[in-house]
Amino acid sequence: MREKNYNLELIRMVSFVLVIAIHVSNYFCRGYGEIPDSEYLFSLVVDTAARVSVPCFFMITGALLMGRDEPLEKHVKRLIRFFTVLVVWSLVYYLWNTFYMKSDFDLRTILYEPVEAHLWYLYAMIPIYLVLPFLQVMCRNFSVKLEKAFFVVTTGTVIANYLLWLMNGEFYYDPPLIGDRVYVYYLYAGYYLYKYRDRIRLSQRAAAAVCAASLAASFGITLAATVVQGDHYEGALTYGMPFIVLASAMFFLVMLRLRGGSLRPGERAKRVIDLFCGCSFGIYLIHILFLDNYKKHMEPYDLSAWIAVPALVASITAVSFLCVWLLRRTKLGRKIT
């Protein structure tokens, strides 16, 4: 069994909190025009900075799995687990939205539309896990030259996808291995950055500066577009945008190289990280229940974002963790979280 890499585990722990921060802050960002400008700017700063989190989940998967040699049976079990999780949580959110939130959902669209928006992550991961054994074989047999060439080609594809998006177009045929989305690219980026983290000629300070500059650019574009159109603009904060891709990769690299790439927390800190990371997937799945409950009773302008955003992130993280920790004390709970 591989020794756990606590640089990756720390990235995981930070990322699941930042995911909650995205969903909370974005609720207030969408209140642009109804909340004071200072609250909107604060919410947008949090929303923008937290956008590195979701790409990190894909990159962690790539770092841990892309070069691994695993039996086909393990892939089948992983697929079955994710499909089970998708079915169970789709049912949970269908019942929640129908009977509590009083929103409609056409079950006939479930193959291509999640019952709850954040379940898109499962829709992205199941196809990736379906082809993962073949990607693993490919990565294991790459020469160093081919690895670099593939990284250049896939990076170029992501940029081309973005340029076509700007022109309201798309590739006539999706590029093989990458497709029209960025998620497989994040997997490979995670694999590449993890493998070559010590050989990449970029200092920690420079990587952090590039990350900050990329996030600042995303913030500036979003703010400018929002002011021009008079409504919150989210296009520059999506995960296929080059500045978000670059910021996420640099954040991942900086975190990978903390303490020389060999972060060794004390026993107490290690137990805390292990406990929270073990619940991270479940926290991602369940936290929208608590945020939805807030949205049902509170509008963005009812409570200052300066108070509501940090308070909601902290409280939703805490109650989600408690619920998942309790769920995982049962066999069924461990299977669906």
3-state secondary structure of 79: helix
- Tokens read off for 322: 């408690």
Residue type at 13 in one-letter notation: M
Distance of alpha carbon 232 from alpha carbon 23, whole angstroms = 14
Distance of alpha carbon 74 from alpha carbon 70, whole angstroms = 7
Who contacts 228 (Cβ-Cβ below 8 Å, separation ≥6)?
none
3-state secondary structure of 266: coil
Supply the pTM of this predicted model.
Answer: 0.95
Tens place of pLDDT per residue across the chain (337 aa): 568 899 999 999 999 999 999 999 999 999 999 999 999 999 999 999 999 999 999 999 999 999 899 999 999 999 999 999 999 999 999 999 999 999 888 888 888 899 999 999 999 999 999 999 999 999 999 999 999 999 899 999 999 989 998 898 888 888 888 877 899 999 999 999 999 999 999 999 999 999 999 999 999 999 999 999 999 999 999 999 999 999 999 999 999 999 988 899 999 999 999 999 999 999 999 999 999 999 999 999 999 999 999 999 999 999 999 999 999 999 999 999 9
- Tokens read off for 306: 């300066």
Distance of alpha carbon 222 from alpha carbon 237, whole angstroms = 7
What contacts 24+ positions apart, CB below 8 Å, involve 206-212? 207/250, 207/253, 207/254, 208/250, 208/254, 210/246, 210/247, 210/250, 211/52, 211/246, 211/247, 211/250, 211/251, 211/254, 212/247
Give 16-69 as a DSSP string.
HHHHHHHHHHHHHHTTBTTB-HHHHHHHHHHHHHGGGHHHHHHHHHHHHHTT--
